[in-house]
Amino acid sequence: MKIIFDAMGGDNAPFEIVKGALMAVKEYGIRALLVGDKEKVSEIIQKIGFDENDKIEIVHASEVITNDESPTMAIRRKKDSSMVKGLKMLREGEADAFISAGSTGALLAGGLFVVGRINGIDRPALAPVIPGEKGAFMLLDAGANAECKPKNILQFGIMGDIYSRKVLGKINPKIGIINIGAEEEKGTEFIKESYNLLKNSNMNFIGNIEAREIPKGECDVVLADGFVGNVVLKLFEGVASTIFDILKKEIYSSLRNKIGGIFLKPVFKKFKRDFDYAEHGGAILIGIKGYVIKAHGSSDAKAIKNAAGQAIRCIEGKIIETIENEVLKYDL
Amino acid sequence: MKIIFDAMGGDNAPFEIVKGALMAVKEYGIRALLVGDKEKVSEIIQKIGFDENDKIEIVHASEVITNDESPTMAIRRKKDSSMVKGLKMLREGEADAFISAGSTGALLAGGLFVVGRINGIDRPALAPVIPGEKGAFMLLDAGANAECKPKNILQFGIMGDIYSRKVLGKINPKIGIINIGAEEEKGTEFIKESYNLLKNSNMNFIGNIEAREIPKGECDVVLADGFVGNVVLKLFEGVASTIFDILKKEIYSSLRNKIGGIFLKPVFKKFKRDFDYAEHGGAILIGIKGYVIKAHGSSDAKAIKNAAGQAIRCIEGKIIETIENEVLKYDL
């Protein structure tokens, strides 16, 4: 198995990306293809000191796509960027998956235009796995499609269902759609139509889910259009980090609190780990003809290694082939 | 000043509602008009023991609107419900404000059909004040209108701006619109059009706000359609309460953690208070010709008293008159 790493993408690139790739080679026994500034990447490998150099390959890329540029333009113009080169190699079958912590927008555009959609899937989705109180759940679409049609939502459901079973090991995953009330007649026309399509599907559709219930993790697959999904993903992150910031500030504010903080350190640590979605790998760009994982922009080496683990589970679970077969059963 | 309390609405009605109303009479020197089951309400007042009975009036209502029934139907049919009676008295000018912890949907329908809209406001909004890291902010619309037009968003902005200045005491409040990216060209057509209207307004419009930034409270007025706003409000509540549930469970899981928990008790308490939006009163139904405050369904007496305080600030700030005058400046 061979995985391509975008060595230049992310806040901590290239060092943490290269380090994470090396960790993945060690831990999972894969081969790594590092795309990026050859000189810099080689230097990092030397610095770290790695003894399985036969499992690493470096492909030089002279350009880097940043978060500031227009995603579609960047993908079209920067042919020699680490992202475009990596995606092209994925398309050509030179490796089994591609991991990047770079621009989400560019990766979405590149996945669509360079790698291409799965037959029967109209719109690929960005699908992160989010930690919930009763277990991790998948959210799709978390931002690939700001506007959606009901049939896109059905397709997201089909893909989420398959991913939940094959990668997260869920049995008969519960599928829900985000709505502003629990009752069937609630919400916009778009939601009502999507609801109907899901209700008549083969999935274990449990109906509407109100945003208040999402963090509990009762639903294994949470569906929404890319606008609402993106708001949910980011607010989740925002509320959690704000709470921790405030608690931290309070804990440092007095001796009594500091002592309490020392006692509770393992709790906070465990909690941060549980709520840290880098632990769960990255967000898969699902619905395209290749395994593309978007790691968080602030990913460290461990997060990159975890994203590689996630890619391996996708490859072994044959997610793409299963989606291709499953969508044939629907009249889409 | 006289405030009407829906004695029968909410999870803790009628006891906590009546108790809260009495607290408001004591603390703010207002007169209270309690609408509900006369016998039950009288019993509670006797039980509590109140010495300013000349400031309380009870109006009997034989029906109660529950959360399970269709809001519009309930408002139309249950003419003798505490909510409909209270709203009618507000419309007739028998009091200055109406507070209810009952069904949100019914209150929205009742506000619109019984009390009526302010001239120039096409869609009233549900507008809670939410605690943020750098101060409380107003969110509108939090669920009155699942689907909106750009001009509705502009009107929400105008109303939020006025409320922020007059009730929350903000100087030159910052107005932002929830979007899936910070850049102007991001989002759906609906968002882009709304953005343009806001940009060309007299308000201190600071542009798009990503959901991650909302909890920080950098924006004083956060705008969205009622679907997205409702998701934000409920997810806020859901993530915060989930984090506290998990922390609590962890703290009770070992002696070491329990000790830490004892030391940090004041921190958690303060934090819970800061993040408890009952502290900030309720959500105003803004844009109708009367002050209607929706208190949280789980409100206790203190939350009801705080909602009364909020109503008083609205009345004194002449929010409705100011909105009426301000919208005239726009070609809506």
Spatial neighbors of A223 by CB under 8 A, at least 6 apart, are: A140, A153, A156, A157, A160, A175, A176, A177, A178, A194, A198
Spatial neighbors of B80 by CB under 8 A, at least 6 apart, are: B61, B62, B63
- The domain segmentation of chain B, as residue ranges, is 1-117+287-318, 122-281
CB contact under 8 A, B260 and A267: yes
Specify the CATH number of the domain B122-281: 3.40.718.10
CB contact under 8 A, A180 and B230: yes
pLDDT at A240: 87
Mean pLDDT in residue range A69-98? 96
Compute φ and ψ for A283, nearest 5 degrees. Answer: -100, 125
Average pLDDT for chain B: 93
Mean pLDDT in residue range B224-243? 93
CA distances from residue A234 to A31, A89, A149, A325, B179 in whole angstroms, order as listed: 33, 31, 22, 33, 11
pLDDT band at A260 (very low <50, low <70, confident <90, very high): confident
CB contact under 8 A, A187 and B247: no
Compute φ and ψ for B221, nearest 5 degrees. Answer: -130, 120
How much is the ipTM here? 0.90
Cβ atoms of B221 and B166 within 8 Å: the answer is no
- In whole angstroms, what separates CA B288 from the centre of its chain? 13
DSSP H stretches of helix in B167-225: 189-199
Q: How far apart are CA A96 and CA A99, in angstroms?
A: 10
pLDDT at A278: 62
Q: How far apart are CA A291 and CA A93, in angstroms?
A: 11
Q: What is the pLDDT of residues A293-305, one digit of tens each?
A: 999 999 999 999 9
pLDDT at B115: 97
pLDDT at A277: 60
pLDDT at B96: 98
Chain A residues within 8 A of B213 when measuring between CB atoms: 238
Q: What is the pLDDT of residues A173-186, one digit of tens each?
A: 999 999 998 888 88
CB contact under 8 A, B271 and A250: yes
Q: Is the pLDDT of residue A205 over 90?
A: yes
Element (H, E) at A191: helix A189-199
Spatial neighbors of B105 by CB under 8 A, at least 6 apart, are: A181, B67, B71
CATH fold match for the domains A1-118+287-318 and A122-284: yes
Higher model confidence: residue A285 or residue A255? A285
Q: What is the pLDDT of residues A30-58, one digit of tens each?
A: 999 999 999 999 999 999 999 898 999 99
Q: Is the pLDDT of residue B245 over 70?
A: yes
Mean pLDDT in residue range A191-203? 96
CB contact under 8 A, A146 and B188: yes
Chain B residues within 8 A of A251 when measuring between CB atoms: 264, 267
CB contact under 8 A, B146 and A187: yes
Under DSSP, is residue A309 helix (H, G, I), strand (E, B) or coil? helix
Mean pLDDT in residue range B125-136? 91
| Cα torsion A124, A155, B141, B324: sign | positive
Compute φ and ψ for B101, nearest 5 degrees. Answer: -105, 15
Q: Which CATH architecture best describes the domain B1-117+287-318?
A: 3-Layer(aba) Sandwich (3.40)
Cβ atoms of A212 and A235 within 8 Å: the answer is no
Compute φ and ψ for B170, nearest 5 degrees. Answer: -85, 145
DSSP H stretches of helix in A92-149: 104-110
Cβ atoms of B140 and B223 within 8 Å: the answer is yes
Percentage of chain B with pLDDT > 90? 78
Superfamily for domain range A1-118+287-318: Isopropylmalate Dehydrogenase (3.40.718.10)
Q: What is the pLDDT of residues A94-147, one digit of tens each?
A: 999 999 999 999 999 999 999 999 999 999 999 999 988 888 899 999 999 999
Average pLDDT for chain A: 93
Mean pLDDT in residue range B26-43? 97
Higher model confidence: residue B133 or residue A281? B133
Which of A310, A293, A298, A285 shows the shortest CA–CA distance to A28? A310
CB contact under 8 A, A212 and B230: no
* Number of Cβ within a 10 Å radius of residue B48: 13
The class level of CATH for A122-284 reads alpha beta
Chain A residues within 8 A of B240 when measuring between CB atoms: 239, 243
Q: What is the pLDDT of residues A272-316, one digit of tens each?
A: 777 666 666 799 999 999 999 999 999 999 999 999 999 999 999
Q: How far apart are CA B158 and CA B161, in angstroms?
A: 5
Q: Is the pLDDT of residue B183 over 90?
A: no
**Shortest CB distance from A227 goes to which of B188, B230, B246?**
B188
**Shortest CB distance from B271 goes to which of A178, A180, A246?**
A246
Residue A293 is which amino acid? I
Alpha carbon of A107: minimum distance to chain B alpha carbons (Å): 15
Cβ atoms of A96 and A2 within 8 Å: the answer is yes
Alpha carbon of A231: minimum distance to chain B alpha carbons (Å): 5
pLDDT at B311: 97
How large is the angle between the packed helices B255-263 and A255-263, nearest 10 degrees?
160
Nearest CA in chain A to B253: A267
CB contact under 8 A, B240 and A237: no
Chain A residues within 8 A of B247 when measuring between CB atoms: 267, 271
